[in-house]
Amino acid sequence: MSHTIYLLRHGQTDYNRERRLQGHCDSPLTALGESQARAMGATLRAEIGDPAHWRVLASPLGRARQTAALVCAELGLPAGSVQSDERLIEVAFGAWEMLEVEALHSRHPQLAHQPDWHFQAPGCEPYPAVLARIKAWLADTSLPPKLIVVAHGLLGRILRGVYADLDHPAIWQQDMPQDAFFRLQGGTITRIACLPAADYAASASCSQIPSFCSRASVSGV
């Protein structure tokens, strides 16, 4: 896939704050999550400049679309610019959706030692199925060359792993930030950190945007 992809995770939600599994369930962004989304949008604007030639894709889940709308507002794009793509939806966690992670791990302490423990959930989306839809999306030749994608933590982690051809253990060593996003280009993944959401929320102007964009480039992470 010879594209440039900016891969964003949605901002903090009520369930994120409560440490609950979401999967295909949904909860709205918190005030912090809204600030995180705006900070990502402002940072992205400093990255790409004119957004006219970029397509914005999002998971169909509300938290991703809410984030994408706030990102578009910072880019100067109408909210109607966001297009849903079912292949970007979060992994389904089956019977464990909406459960508190701490309580779940207390009930099943062995999960704490399994980095891919999410896939132990009864009725969850199988890992091979997740891989298949991600690979199909990355191989889709109908996608435009410049993409802004708003998706999810686990889905994004696996997508980056597939893109960089990481082995299974390395996939689970990646983080799932809500205060940074990733540029996928030419086989290299670059992590781009945003202005802290609290600072951005307190700012009256975006004139200092270039100063808060920091980068760390690696191949395959």
Report whether pLDDT(2) > 90: no
Q: What is the reported pLDDT for 216? A: 44
Per-residue HEC secondary structure of 1-47 comes to CCCEEEEEECCCEHHHHCCECCCCCCCCECHHHHHHHHHHHHHHHHH
d(CA 6, CA 24): 23
- Answer left, alpha or beta for residue 39, where phi above 0 means left and psi between -120 and 50 means alpha: alpha
Give residues with Cβ within 8 angstroms of 111, minimum separation 6.
104, 105, 117, 120
Report whether pLDDT(22) > 80: yes
- The CATH number for 161's domain is 3.40.50.1240
pLDDT tens, residue by residue, 35-89: 999 999 999 999 999 999 999 999 999 999 999 999 999 999 998 999 999 999 9
- To the nearest whole number, what is the mean pLDDT of the chain? 90
Q: What is the reported pLDDT for 1? A: 53
pLDDT tens, residue by residue, 23-34: 999 999 999 999
Indicate which residues carry an active-site annotation.
10, 90
Continuous segment of H or E residues that includes residue 184:
strand 180-185
Enclosing domain of residue 153: 4-218
Task: Report the predicted TM-score, pTM, of the whole model to 2 decimal places.
Answer: 0.89
Tell me how far CA of residue 176 lies from CA of 22, 78, 200, in angstroms.
Answer: 14, 27, 20
Query: DSSP characters for 148-171?
Result: EEEE-HHHHHHHHHHHTT--HHHH
Beta strands 214-218 and 188-193 are antiparallel
- Answer left, alpha or beta for residue 118, where phi above 0 means left and psi between -120 and 50 means alpha: alpha
d(CA 202, CA 62): 25
Report whether pLDDT(150) > 50: yes
Report whether pLDDT(211) > 60: no
- Counting the structural domains of the chain, the total is 1
Window from 44-58, 118-132, 202-216 with minimum mean pLDDT? 202-216
